[in-house]
Amino acid sequence: MPSLIIPAPTPEVAEAAITSSPFWPAIVPAEIRADQRIDNTVTPPRLKAALIEAIATTNGSLSGWRTTHQVLNGYATLADVPAEEIDEQSILVHRYRRAVGCLAKALLLERLRDFDSTGKGDKKAEAVTDPIDDHRRDHLHALADITGRSRCTVELI
């Protein structure tokens, strides 16, 4: 007789905030989990690794913009750069967290492809390709919004 085994939910683990340079806000893994719908099947070490890479990539992409605002204009943190506030927080901070979260989710989804190489796994890999592209696009949109660049790239052929 077949049996159905339902695994118990993985309990939430307190995950420490990840900091980079003092200019950028700390990234709280629990907030990224909630924003990006990353459940506890993604272990804290896997999420931390994805977040560290996403932070490094995002900070690198914004390094010139940061230099302009921190060194030339004298702002100590991203939150200090003049911008509209939503929910009592700078929109730039919201967008930075979105950029990091979207890229981390894309990195995690890319790793799902490695998990199962059977026919069923191939179908699942195809199914997550669009969401990966969507998360990477959202990451780039957040970067463009922070820097004030247009989201549209037009190339003359």
d(CA 151, CA 143): 9
CB burial of residue 38 (10 Å; 0-12, 13-18, 19+): buried
- pLDDT in the model for residue 123: 57
Angle 49-18-87 (CA atoms, 0-180°, nearest 5)? 120
Predicted pLDDT of residue 61 = 97
Helix H or strand E segment including 51: helix 44-61
CA pair distance 49, 98, nearest whole angstrom: 17
Q: Tell me: the pLDDT tens digits for 96-141?
A: 999 999 999 999 999 876 555 555 655 555 656 679 999 999 999 9
Q: What are the residue ranges spanned by the domains of the chain? A: 29-147
Question: Residue holding tokens 């967290």?
Answer: 97
